[in-house]
Amino acid sequence: MKILVVDDDDLLVEQLTADLLAQNYVVDTTSDGLLGWEYATATPYDLIVLDINLPGLDGVSLCQRLRQGGYAGAILLLTGRSSSDDKVMGLNAGADDYLVKPYTLVELTARLRALLRRPQMVISPTLRYGSLELDPNGSLVTVADRPVELSPKEYGLLELFLRHPDRIFSNTLLLERLWSVEDAPGEETIRTHIKRLRRKLKQAGVDDMIENVYGMGYRLRPGSVGPAVGPDVSDAAPTPAEPDRAAAAREAAIAAFERFRPTIDQRMAALRDAALALKANHLPTAVQTAAQGAAHKLAGSLGLFGYGTGSHLARRLEDWLEQPDLAQGQTFNGLVDQLDGLLRSPPAATSTENNREIVPLPPAAVLGDRIAVVAVDDDPIMLAQLQSLLPRWGVDVLGLQDPRQTLATLEASPPDLLLIDLEMPSLSGLDLCRQLRQIDRWQTLPIVCLTACRDAATLYQLYQAGADDYLPKPVVEPELVSRIFHRVERGRLLQTLAGVDPHSGLANRQKGTIELKLLLALAQRQGEIVTLLVIQLDPRDPPGEATPIRSLGQSLTGLIGSGDVLACWGPSEFIVGLWATDRAAAQALLGQTLKLQLMDKLSSSSDALGTLDTTANGTTVNAINIDAITVGTATFPVDGQTLPLLYRQAQRPAARLPLSP
Amino acid sequence: MTDKRILIIDDEADVREIAKVSLEITKHWQVTTAASGDEGLALASSCHPDAILLDVVMPQVDGLATLIKLRENMATCHIPVILLTATIRLATQPAYAAAGAKAILVKPFDPGLLGSQIETALGW
């Protein structure tokens, strides 16, 4: 039971609150009439106690406003005035009862209890849907004036849908509204009730009234809904339950404190032992360790019980004990005393010290690398926000304001994930998504959409267009980061399964192995030869710099034929399997001209690596030192008949193909 | 939001209790608890929770060791793990990311928000 007390007599409020809390009521108090109005519209109260004389908004006016707003709970007016005019005015304004000061606390609580016992007799207008009518006052349901028999839960469901024609109710929400916490059944029960309700309605001649919204819940089919009841204060906020439940959880935690007091006391004792020892100017290791352990535990738990500051103090104590300075024992003792004092006063239900964000961790698969994200959004502010927020999480963002450049950007620097804003004027985000998914290369690219829409239709379209996930706007940091990490991890997994190496876009080692084995098996059957080339790049730059690898990979793609195999074997290694080609032919194809061809390809490729730079250290093309490319060969069947054997043979120094012109 | 099953592994009774009550009240999830890494491993294999809250500092088998065992076991390797720690510094330890934990939450957590934070971190 929730009670709101709006009264500026502090002493009375304190006494009343203590009394009500002791009887397990939930009590909110305020001393201002306008604040009282705000409270009442934000939370469903069972009873509101109002003083007539209030700052902000007087009691009678507040009472009127509450009733006009549809508040159906009990209202008790308190006043020092006893003239009958006032009483009448109060009752006319919609108060259920009226109490004149001075009154005793006992009297007041007795009246309150009486009010809370009374059924709420507020006349609600009939709810209509087509030919169906629901009269909440008599709990009667008729279709074309013929009565329909419904069980209490079926009636409850119907009334809920009719009162909120535009709400989608999930199973959880339905459970919350219609069942008490103690006897909440499973989702199956909801489905059964809905099924029965639908059947009864159909029999009565109303078909298709309740629709399933895929993945979200049930709602009234948009159609002919009659005069809805006015803003019903008890159902005002979109999810009135959530903040209530959060508060209830905090209260339950505080209530549990007494049970854990012995443990807390033990820990405090360990701290006091340390304080005592410090007064004598020495701190034996055993005492220090015990105190450190105690402080650590207290830091982690006091905040749970509403002593957020306590956790904070305990942390400082823990830090102090890490490097104890006996000369500064005073500091330590002072903190312990503070903590002691704090624990003797009651805890705070709304502790702001506990506002810790959950910290998402980067997926193991990408640890060590930075995550590359391309974000397509016509809003430069959003892009700037992403670019300032994400780097500290190891995510680098390339922002694109013009969605038409997306394809070119992706080809030039394929990212780990693509963020698309759905609300863009020029090209629709969904169209972009659809276009990308039609291209093989971007099938496995994780795509996350940013959208302000929450409706089922948009979300459905989003998934149909090929997006993997969405983030609601305004974007919240922990959620953004968690989704990015999650989708990148899934993307990597998909790519591995699809056989694609993320950096080069070529076949990865698993796929390459399969293809090479097939090539060798075919060669065996047809009596053909295959030359294996193992191309290793020894990069001088730090790992994670994928550009040279990618360029090399792209160049190699252009140099092989359709029956050949090309795969990325490792971070800086490629394997080529050349059909019906011997070592000499391979050399001719790739050997002497490899360097020049590569240099040619590299300098003309889209991620132009700049000019050739001939220095004393060798010829480099930007970050690639050409002399650091080694190509080893081995030919099937003469050098080996299995892939592992051929690979080993290709590593021998004698197997090197000279590259210098 | 379907009913989720959560396993909480923490050697401290107060944390177990508050976390359990918090998730039951705010999200109506089913919560099981374990007081040690070993107990947690056994429960995770038999009950298959949808997520595990794991305390980092525990006597005997500590959080990291438990996490590694969970990831190595075929029956439990797919269950997302959120670490609980009272030490702020630990929040950035790469060892935990490498071991496969999804997120870290620093104690004391807010009993009113724990459920929502878990949903955010796991994309529920």
ipTM for the predicted complex? 0.87
Comparing CB atoms, the residue among A170, A301, A315 nearest residue B15 is A301
Question: Could you tell me the CA-to-CA distances from A188 to A171, A214, A298, B23 in Å, in that order?
Answer: 9, 16, 43, 22
A462-471, A491-500, B38-47, B89-98: range with lowest mean pLDDT: B89-98
Residue whose pair of structure tokens reads 């008949």 in the numeric block: A641
- Amino acid identity for residue B25 in this structure: I
Contacts of residue A300 in chain B, CB cutoff 8 Å? 12, 15, 86, 107-108
Is A358 part of the contact surface with chain B (CB cutoff 8 Å)?
Answer: yes
pLDDT value at residue A620: 39
The per-residue pLDDT for range A633-653, each reduced to its tens digit, is 899 999 888 999 999 998 888
The answer as to whether B121 is a domain residue is no
Residue A421 binned pLDDT confidence (cut-offs 50, 70, 90): very high
Q: Please tell me which of the candidates B100, B112, B120 has its beta carbon nearest to residue A249.
A: B112
Residue A436 has phi, psi (to 5 degrees) of -65, -40
Q: What is the CATH number of the domain that holds B49?
A: 3.40.50.2300
B17, B88, B103 ranked by CB distance to A361: nearest: B103
Best of B18, B22, B24, B96 to substitute, by most chain A Cβ atoms within 10 angstroms, is: B18
pLDDT at A55 over 80: yes
CATH superfamily of A2-117: Response regulator (3.40.50.2300)
Residue-by-residue DSSP string for B53-117 = EEES--SSS-HHHHHHHHHHSTTTTTS-EEEEES-SGGGG-HHHHHTT--EEEESSP-TTTHHHH
Residue B29 sits in which domain range? 5-116
Does the beta carbon of A301 lie under 8 angstroms from any beta carbon of chain B?
Answer: yes
**Closest CA–CA distance from residue B122 to any residue of chain A (Å):** 7
Do A488 and A363 form a contact (C-beta atoms < 8 A)?
Answer: yes
CATH of the domain spanning A364-498: 3.40.50.2300
User: Per the structure, how many domains does chain B have?
Assistant: 1
Render pLDDT for A154-181 as a digit per residue (tens, 0 to 9): 888 888 888 777 677 888 778 766 765 4
Q: How many CA atoms lie within 13 A of A79 on its CB side?
A: 21
Decide if B32 is inside a domain.
yes
The length of chain B in residues reads 124
Q: What is the pLDDT of residues A229-264, one digit of tens each?
A: 333 333 333 344 567 788 888 888 888 888 888 989
A469-472, strands of its sheet edge to edge:
A395-400, A371-376, A417-421, A447-451, A469-472
Question: Residue B15: closest CA among chain A residues belongs to which residue?
Answer: A301
Please spell the DSSP secondary structure of A576-617, one letter per residue: EEEET--HHHHIIIIIHHHHHHHHHHHHHSSS----EEEETT
> What beta strand segments (E) does A195-256 contain?
210-213, 217-220
Q: Which two tokens stand for residue B41?
A: 């491993």
CB contact under 8 A, B21 and A249: yes
Question: pLDDT for A370-419, tens place per residue?
Answer: 899 999 998 888 898 898 888 888 899 999 998 889 999 998 888 999 99
Is the CB of A250 less than 8 angstroms away from the CB of B110? yes
B124 part of a folded domain: no
Distance CA A213, CA A170 (A): 9
Q: How far apart are CA B21 and CA A254, in angstroms?
A: 11
- Please, where in chain A does CATH 3.40.50.2300 lie? 2-117, 364-498
Sequence length of chain A is: 661
Task: Specify which residues A135 forms β-bridges with.
Answer: A140
Asked if B86 lies within 8 A of A299 by C-beta distance, the reply is yes
Strands, sheet with B81-85, edge to edge from the N-terminal-most edge strand: A359-360, B103-106, B81-85, B51-55, B5-9, B30-34
A406 token code pair:
């997306």
Please state, in angstroms and rounded to a whole number, the distance separating the CA atoms of residues B86 and A356: 11
Cα gap A97→A57, rounded to integer Å: 19
SS3 for A375?
Answer: strand
CATH of domain A509-655: 3.30.70.270
Confidence band (pLDDT; 50, 70, 90) for A295?
very high
Domain assignment present for residue B122? The answer is no
- CATH 1.10.10.10 positions along chain A are 127-239
B123 lies in some domain: no
Please report the pLDDT score of residue A549 as a whole number: 66
Contact A246 B113 (CB under 8 A): yes
Pick the CATH number of A127-239 from 3.40.50.720, 1.10.10.10, 3.40.50.2300, 3.40.1350.10: 1.10.10.10
- Give the gap in angstroms from C-alpha A14 to the nearest C-alpha of chain B: 25
Model confidence at A603, pLDDT cuts 50, 70, 90, reads low
CA–CA min distance B33, chain A (Å): 17
